[in-house]
Amino acid sequence: MVILFDGRAVMCCQDMAREVIWGDVARDGIVKVWNGKVRRETIRRLYTGQTCKQDFLCARCEQALGPGAMVQSLLQSAWRKLKKHPPQTRAATY
């Protein structure tokens, strides 16, 4: 949770556009925002592995989907497929 200059609390420091606002700390206090339904529901979805909308902040985040993370994900996927369906080896015929 990141508290902005005006008291609004957003989910993450990557939320430059203030897309996921959890509440207003200046108006409601930090405990109420922290225990609020919006924050709890967001955390519940993230930690239970539920899919989110394609345009959800984390689904577009460069911190999560940077080049290194993308390559690692592709390699892990290819490795899983290879283990599940190993290539057939045949003797070369000439």
Nearer to ligand SF4, 21 or 58 (CB): 58
- The Cα–Cα gap between 18 and 11 comes to 9
Nearer to ligand SF4, 43 or 82 (CB): 43
Q: Given the rule CB under 6 A, which residues bind ligand SF4? A: 12, 14, 57-58, 61, 63-64
Closest approach, Cβ 85 to ligand SF4, in A, equals 31
> Which residues on neighbouring strands pair with residue 2, listed in sequence order?
10
CA Rg, the chain, in Å?
Answer: 21
Closest approach, Cβ 63 to ligand SF4, in A, equals 4
- The Cα–Cα gap between 20 and 9 comes to 9
